[in-house]
Structure 1
Amino acid sequence: MATASSWQTGVVTAIGEETPHAKTFRLRLAEPRTHRAGQFYVVRLTAPDGYHAQRDYSVASAPGGEHIELTVEKLPDGEVSAFLHDVVRVGDTLQVRGPIGRFFSWDGDAPVLGVAGGSGVVPLMSMLRLARGAGRPGLMRLVVSVRSPEDLYYADEITGPETTVVYTRRGPAGGSRPIGRLTAEDLRPLAEADRDVYVCGSQGFCDAATGLLADVGIEEKRIRVSRFGPTG
């Protein structure tokens, strides 16, 4: 039986385009394990000469079932992300290990606020889908900061009364919020004392967001942060 520390095979059953630079890969696991919203899997590639390359990718799908969905951004010179985008097709198999990451995970049993920068929305989307699937969408509130509408992951699904999208460079026609970076005023109406906060994004985004959360009165002990770097 597969465990979180053992490698297993995942068959690619679907590939969907989220943005011009991001795709979601749906995998059917040989030995499924129920993940917690917010966790990730490691994907490993093996060359004919035995060389290995591996990267961590957050799970976007809600917990449950034999499938997981991993959303991957193609990065410049990204060794693994470029292979997934350019080479992998439906029916191919991938080696995966997980789920991993208890600290940045959520069971859907208490209200939370998610704050995401760009591709940092992926693990928070798993949380949003969990809350919506349980018929309790108000448990998960989400703020996503992106440069433009073309950069918004899950655009056909993510919008709703429990989500706020902040456009920093260019917004959709008729948008009510001025274009610009995330501010304390964006977070203040959503920051409640009983909500833990999950922040995910680049180092710079996470540092700025945690500072804004402090400005609106969120205690540091209630904030969980997942930072990512430019590995591909």
Structure 2
Amino acid sequence: MATDPQRAAIWRDASVVDVRHHGDLAVILRLKVPERVVHRPGQHYVVRLRAEDGYTASRSYSTVSAPSDDLVELYVEKVPDGEVSGYLSEIVEPGDELEVRGPIGRWFAWDGRTPALGIGGGSGVAPLVSMLRHATEIGRPELLSLAVSAWTAEHLPYREELEEFGALVALSRQKGGSRLDAAVIGAIADPGATAFVCGSARFTLAMESHLLSAGQPSESIRVERFGPTGED
């Protein structure tokens, strides 16, 4: 019998159930994945596009949905001239099918049973929202602390959901806003928790440095980096 990792490695044709746009910044896709392997918060899916001539392009996107959700939710940030994000944000409609593979990743995955600190910048909040939803559904919100950053309120995905959960929100380019600086991170660092940091290279390097300076054990810090996004 195939194990979950073996099953997760199989490419499947997922049906697009819902398409919602986050302004001009991104698109939120909800997919029905046949014979879905239940993910852990923090894991991701690979979406592959295939042209008629056989050319393929693929990108990875974190799951936003809770493991209990029947559908897989992905937050796809629009990237200038992006092959995959452009198609997903401008062409895909409900009823379409997409090739997907996942869930993937064990390093940046929360078990939902131990304390966790999530720090995300811009679209890097996506896997943290999956953690938030899971913690809420299992009745253990006290296990998860969140701090998130974006340029403005409009640039922060899932802002209302994050605020309702009690996340610390820093808006660096909004009037009266703030940043996740060394003092802020020092106040929330928790040596007894696993720290999940997600965002651009610049953001994650700064957050990791702040955590280490605050005494967060290096072995407790897990980082996921990607390209430029709306945070600093």
Letter in 1 for 2:30: R
- Are 1:74 and 2:78 an aligned pair? yes
Which residue does 1:198 correspond to in 2?
Answer: 196
CA contact (8 A) 2:132 2:165 kept: no
- Are 1:218 and 2:225 an aligned pair? no
Counterparts of 1:148 and 1:84 in 2: how far apart (Å)? 24
1:88-167 to 2 correspondences below 5 Å: 88-160=92-164, 162-167=166-171
Letter in 1 for 2:76: V
CA contact (8 A) 1:34 1:65 kept: no
Provide closer, same or farther for how the CA distance between residues 230 and 162 of structure 1 changes in structure 2, counting only shifts above 3 A: closer
Structure 2: gaps of 5 or more residues = none
Counterparts of 1:161 and 1:70 in 2: how far apart (Å)? 20
Counterparts of 1:141 and 1:180 in 2: how far apart (Å)? 18
TM-score by length of 1: 0.92
Which residue does 1:168 correspond to in 2?
Answer: 172
Which residue does 1:189 correspond to in 2?
Answer: 187
TM-score by length of 2: 0.92
Counterparts of 1:158 and 1:19 in 2: how far apart (Å)? 18
Provide closer, same or farther for how the CA distance between residues 184 and 230 of structure 1 changes in structure 2, counting only shifts above 3 A: closer
- Are 1:13 and 2:14 an aligned pair? no
SS of the equivalent of 2:133 reads helix
SS of the equivalent of 2:28 reads strand
Q: 16-25 or 198-207, which moves further after superposition? A: 16-25
SS of the equivalent of 1:135 reads coil
Counterparts of 1:213 and 1:180 in 2: how far apart (Å)? 18
Which residue does 1:175 correspond to in 2?
Answer: none
Tell me by how many angstroms 1:215 deviates.
Answer: 1.8
Letter in 2 for 1:216: A
CA contact (8 A) 2:186 2:210 kept: no
SS of the equivalent of 2:164 reads coil
SS of the equivalent of 2:161 reads helix
Counterparts of 2:168 and 2:122 in 1: how far apart (Å)? 13
Letter in 2 for 1:205: F
Letter in 1 for 2:52: P
CA contact (8 A) 1:26 1:69 kept: yes
Tell me by how many angstroms 1:223 deviates.
Answer: 0.4
Structure 1: gaps of 5 or more residues = 172-177
- CA-based RMSD of the aligned residues comes to 1.7
Task: Identify which of 20, 34, 46 aligns with 2:38.
Answer: 34
Which residue does 1:54 correspond to in 2?
Answer: 58
